[in-house]
């Protein structure tokens, strides 16, 4: 039976875009200060989840909300279940947007909004693919279940809770990465570095802040420094202006007598690809590290400004590692928190590591390398092991066949540092929705999704879901 998937998507373009815009208006950033029993990750992720599930209810699917942690939209019959995994939570919008990140705008064929490419846009494309198959009443031999999460960008607590209550699909994919396929994902672990904050000398670090999430390159940082004399503060001020002039960052400084407040703006990037950003916090630490701070501040600034600064592969810390198949370990320093009124500071180092090394090894080597600076280390957040589905698996073969037929391009396996819900299943992969050569704006200001790519992804998803479930 020949089905013109392009025709079916074209007939639903307006509805698809309207639904996506409504979804993008929901500010579904995790907010721990507003967590309640009804909103386990804050009201935003809950409302995004409910909005997505409401489309399934409207369109006659079987829908279940699992305690506002996650839910699913399902149809079809059979002993096996094909799982599709998307998420409605987003990373914080941050600064430097040209438009309101939660008021979606179409400009030059692109839809600008936080979540447009990660992951509300791709999720809507996959949902409409399911909707087409259902509305055409095509025969299936398997259940198709779209699992909707709300904590993918943080700790994956949504999926932990969901799978305590619901059965695990047999195989599937997540529309949360790129084409032609992602059938391997590196391990993902955050190592938290703690250093005492007490410091007393000619230069006193009172505060240092940078970064919003472990999986984002910090776009801004600020520090508050107190000096003994006005002359010292004057000299720092002049040196900071010179430092900004010769490096790929911008910034400013303000004076309050002998106290200087430094601000730096860098360039954001996804934490899985820190080499494409400019880490505002490490650049600021690198500048301050040249001054005679004492005790905890000296150690904090030296670790951040010398061992971590501009080192995206953990070489200075001694943890660099490369696997022939899965590639190179990467490191993102995503969160910096130093406050003299607290006992300890925090630097969060997020590692995407290949098979052949481990979180315990990474932690042990870091401790050996910088232990002399009074650090204490711990593993923080959700730790994910490396994941790989062989290219010969029928799931991978089918998805690559569909991609090749619809694009005319050769499909090859890919392994990435990013973590997707595809790794939730032993036979799980990531599949789209970003096409080769497209600009990646995930986790950045002015995030966008090219509308033609969105509709093209929906065509591919419809064909793929039908082939896997018919």
Q: Give the closest residue to 435 by CA, choosing from 403, 467, 390.
A: 403
What is d(CA 442, CA 218) in angstroms, rounded to the nearest whole number?
A: 14
d(CA 143, CA 146): 10
Between the alpha carbon of residue 443 and those of residues 308, 322, 369, the distances in Å are 21, 25, 31
Q: At what angle do helices 43-58 and 120-135 cross, to 10 degrees?
A: 20
Instruction: Give me the catalytic one of 8, 151, 152, 453.
Output: 152
Residues comprising the chain, all counted: 470
**152 an active-site residue?**
yes
- The stretches of 11-137 forming alpha helices (DSSP H) are 13-24, 43-58, 120-135
User: Taking the CA of residue 84 as centre, how many other CA atoms within 13 Å lie in the half-sphere pointing to its CB?
Assistant: 29
Give φ, ψ of 269 to 5 degrees: -165, 160
Indicate the Cα dihedral angle 65, 66, 67, 70, nearest 10°. Answer: -90
Please pick, among 8, 47, 89, 337, the residue that the annotation labels catalytic.
89
166 is catalytic: no
Alpha helices in 309-393 (DSSP H): 359-370
- State the burial class of residue 1 (Cβ atoms within 10 Å of its Cβ: 0-12, 13-18, 19+): exposed
- Position of tokens 């890919």? 414
Rounded CA-CA distance 195/347 in Å is: 9
Q: Which residues are catalytic?
A: 89, 152
């Amino acid at each position: 039976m020949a089905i013109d998937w392009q025709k079916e998507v074209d007939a639903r373009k307006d509805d698809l875009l309207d639904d996506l815009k409504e979804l993008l208006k929901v500010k579904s950033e995790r907010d721990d200060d507003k967590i309640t029993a009804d909103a386990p990750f804050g009201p935003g992720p809950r409302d995004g989840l409910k909005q997505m599930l409401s489309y399934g209810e409207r369109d006659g699917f079987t829908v279940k909300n699992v305690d506002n942690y996650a839910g699913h939209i399902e149809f079809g019959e059979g002993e096996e279940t094909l799982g599709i995994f998307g998420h409605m939570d987003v990373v914080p919008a941050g600064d430097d947007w040209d438009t309101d990140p939660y008021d979606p705008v179409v400009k030059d064929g692109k839809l600008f909004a936080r979540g447009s490419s990660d992951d509300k846009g791709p999720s809507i494309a996959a949902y409409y693919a399911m909707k087409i198959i259902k509305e055409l009443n095509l025969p299936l031999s398997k259940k198709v279940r779209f699992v909707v999460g709300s904590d993918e960008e943080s700790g994956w607590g949504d999926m932990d809770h969901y799978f305590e209550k619901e059965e695990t699909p047999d195989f599937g994919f997540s529309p949360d990465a790129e084409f032609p396929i992602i059938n391997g994902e590196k391990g993902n672990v955050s190592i938290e570095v703690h250093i005492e904050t007490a410091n007393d000398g000619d230069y006193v670090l009172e505060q240092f802040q940078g970064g919003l999430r472990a999986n984002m390159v910090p776009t801004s940082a600020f520090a508050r420094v107190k000096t003994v004399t006005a002359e010292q503060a004057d000299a720092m001020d002049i040196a900071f202006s010179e430092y900004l002039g010769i490096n790929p960052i911008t910034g400013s400084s303000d004076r309050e007598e002998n106290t200087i407040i430094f601000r730096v703006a860098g360039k954001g990037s996804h934490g899985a690809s820190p080499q494409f950003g400019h880490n505002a916090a490490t650049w600021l630490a690198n500048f301050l590290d040249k001054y005679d701070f004492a005790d905890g501040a000296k150690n904090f600034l030296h670790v951040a400004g010398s061992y971590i600064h501009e080192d995206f592969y953990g070489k200075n810390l001694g943890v660099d590692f490369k696997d022939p198949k899965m590639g190179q370990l990467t490191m993102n320093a995503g969160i910096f928190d130093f406050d003299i009124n607290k006992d300890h500071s925090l630097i969060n180092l997020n590692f995407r590591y290949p098979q052949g090394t481990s979180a315990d090894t990474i932690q042990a080597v870091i401790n050996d390398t910088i232990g002399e600076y009074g650090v204490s280390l711990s593993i923080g957040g959700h730790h994910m092991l490396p994941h790989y589905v062989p290219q010969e698996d029928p799931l991978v073969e089918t998805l690559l066949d569909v991609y090749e037929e619809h694009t005319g391009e050769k499909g090859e396996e890919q392994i990435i540092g990013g973590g997707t819900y595809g790794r939730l299943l032993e036979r799980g992969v990531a599949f789209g929705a970003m096409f080769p050569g497209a600009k990646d704006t995930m986790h950045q200001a002015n995030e966008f999704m090219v509308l033609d790519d969105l509709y093209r992804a929906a065509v591919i998803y419809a064909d793929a879901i039908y082939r896997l479930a018919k």
